[in-house]
Homo-oligomer: A and B are copies of this chain.
Amino acid sequence: MAKKNIEEQIIKAAATIFVKKGMDGARMQEIAAEAGINQALLHYYFRSKEKLFDAVFSEIINNFLKSVFSSISEKDNFKEFLYDFIVSYSQNITEHAELTKFILWEFQRGGKLMIKSLREAQLNGDSAPDFIIRKIEQAKKEGVIRPIDAQNFLLTLLSTVLYPFIARPIFENIFQIPDMTDAAFIDKRNQEVFDLLWSGIKQN
């Protein structure tokens, strides 16, 4: 079997275990068993547990961000852009199962990997956050939305869409939501978030 396949098999198995248990809680023997290989191979291919962990996280976060940025709307109309962003961002989140658990581990590690990836991601020559901030500034300039702090708005936008998924067990239990990844719930949620944010910023 080609080397490449073994590495991918390891990364997939490691992702499953690391997502669930974190680096400290995961066991190399368990990862090996999940991958169907001998434990020594983990060290042969990745040298150490920590290097394996980094490799796994790099791949997951890069895949996610790549997917997010490739689906960012290119519409000039800001209202439509905002709506499309909310829909595609939450769709990306639900499609990348377990991503939110990765995010939790990454936050505990200080977020360096995520920061690096966010900075490197480019949209029309801008970093992704700058691209969106530029859109917001443009909409202000055109009088489409009222004068808001663009950074603050983006902070709110990202928080509002992502955080419910991160805190999913809490919210599902407290609000008795059967399944927050259910399409009907997400559609309604996206619409409510859009209505709230758009109403909150549109020029009257």
- Per the CB 8 Å criterion, the residue count for chain A at the interface is 53
B108 close to A22 (CB less than 8 A): yes
**Among A108, A115, A153, A196: residue with most chain B CB under 10 A:** A196
A189 close to B152 (CB less than 8 A): yes
What is the CA–CA distance of A174 and B181 in the complex, to the nearest angstrom? 28
Residue of B nearest to A204 (CB): B204
A195 CB to closest chain B CB (Å) equals 7
**A-side interface mostly:** helix
Given contacts A152-B188, A201-B199, are A167 and B111 in contact (CB under 8 A)? yes
B114 close to A170 (CB less than 8 A): yes
What is the CA–CA distance of A204 and B200 in the complex, to the nearest angstrom? 12
Asked if A107 is an interface residue, CB under 8 A from chain B, the answer is yes
Residues of A that sit less than 8 Å from B by CB:
21-22, 24-25, 101, 104-105, 107-108, 110-112, 114-115, 118-119, 129, 146, 148-149, 151-156, 158-160, 162-164, 166-167, 169-171, 173-175, 177, 188-189, 192-193, 195-201, 204
State the 3 A-B residue pairs at the shortest beta-carbon distance, nearest first: A200-B200, A159-B163, A24-B24
